[in-house]
Amino acid sequence: MTDWTKKQERFLQYNIPTRLGHLATNLARIKSFCDDVTPQDVVASLLKESLYFIEWTAPNMVQIDIDQAAELVELGRTLTRWLFSWEKIRSDATALTQVQAEVGSWSQRVLDMSGLLSESISKAC
């Protein structure tokens, strides 16, 4: 059982780019775990955790960029739909392939939103 309160306290100590980086990583994990050997509850757990990450980040994003906050809310809706129909998606190869493509795209978008890649490139120069 996950202690969400403690996890939230730790998560909220991170700055927004780092929070978005964690979310992007979770999304990348979901994409890679959409295979036949990963237990269904692992992906469901990552979906739930990602929803919490969005819930804990989006309100702070409103002050920075309302459009990006809206994107996070849309991502949350998408993840919720997947979570509630995960067993059906899992048994449908076409639906699973579509989820993998979408979650990969979302992962990249959230990573871009975070600015972490451009930040590490500018530090290297």
Q: What is the pLDDT of residues 73-112, one digit of tens each?
A: 999 999 999 999 998 998 899 999 999 999 999 999 999 9
pLDDT at residue number 34 = 84
Dihedral (C-alpha) 34, 37, 45, 92: value to the nearest 10 degrees? 50
Predicted structure pTM score: 0.89
Residue 4 near residue 95, CB atoms below 8 Å: no
Residues 12 and 80: their CA atoms lie apart, in Å, by 22
Domain-wise residue ranges, the chain? 4-119
In this structure, what DSSP letter does residue 85 have? T
What is the average pLDDT score of the chain? Answer: 90
**Which residue type does 92 have?**
D
Cα–Cα distances in Å, from 17 out to 39, 98, 111, 120?
30, 27, 8, 12
